[in-house]
Amino acid sequence: MSEPRVELSSELPGVPNAFQHLWTPHRLVYIQHGQQPADHECPFCLAVNKSDEESLIVYRGKTAYALLNLYPYNSGHLLVCPYRHISTYDLATPEEVAEIGEITQQAMRVLSKVSGAHGFNLGMNQGEVAGAGIAAHLHQHIVPRWRNDANFFPIIAETKALPRLLGEVREQIAQSWSSVS
């Protein structure tokens, strides 16, 4: 396999932009043949029937809950999911939408306090074609960010440096959840 090629936007045809392009043809297999679980194997549906520690849940609400991402982009990367197995945001009830928003706000406050996050990436990938790893169950990502947290590990070494274990992070977030306002 050849080395990934980084192209400068100034070298590309068309209107130059601020993006640098990293060509990753090895990802085509994943894109064309997404690895979606069957509905009865949905990890978000299965998680709520396990202990919080085992499923990495940090908070359980009435219609939605928050858990750590098993494959985090950064330490403290949380997911907010409705209990109901629905695939897109437009299928959520007004109560679910409100609670997902409330949980997201509280998660940001907690992560700011316990990890000193300087900012956040929030997002929902709706559908397999949009990049949802689990397309059948709605979930929102909350990724804490810090100044200077980017490096070349993920690109060059296909490695992400995570300074804390998931269990430690889950415990600290869960313990701080109700005390942060």
Q: What residues are labeled active site? A: 139
Rounded to an integer, what distance in angstroms lies between the CA atom of residue 150 and that of residue 175?
A: 28
Starting at the edge strand found earlier in the chain, the sheet holding 64-68 runs: 57-60, 64-68, 78-82, 140-145, 119-123
List 79's β-bridge partners, or say none. 67, 141
In DSSP notation, 130-175 reads: GT-TTTTS--EEEEEE-TT---SIIIIIS-----S-HHHHHHHHHH
DSSP letter at 61 equals -
| Residue 47: closest CA among 87, 85, 97 | 85
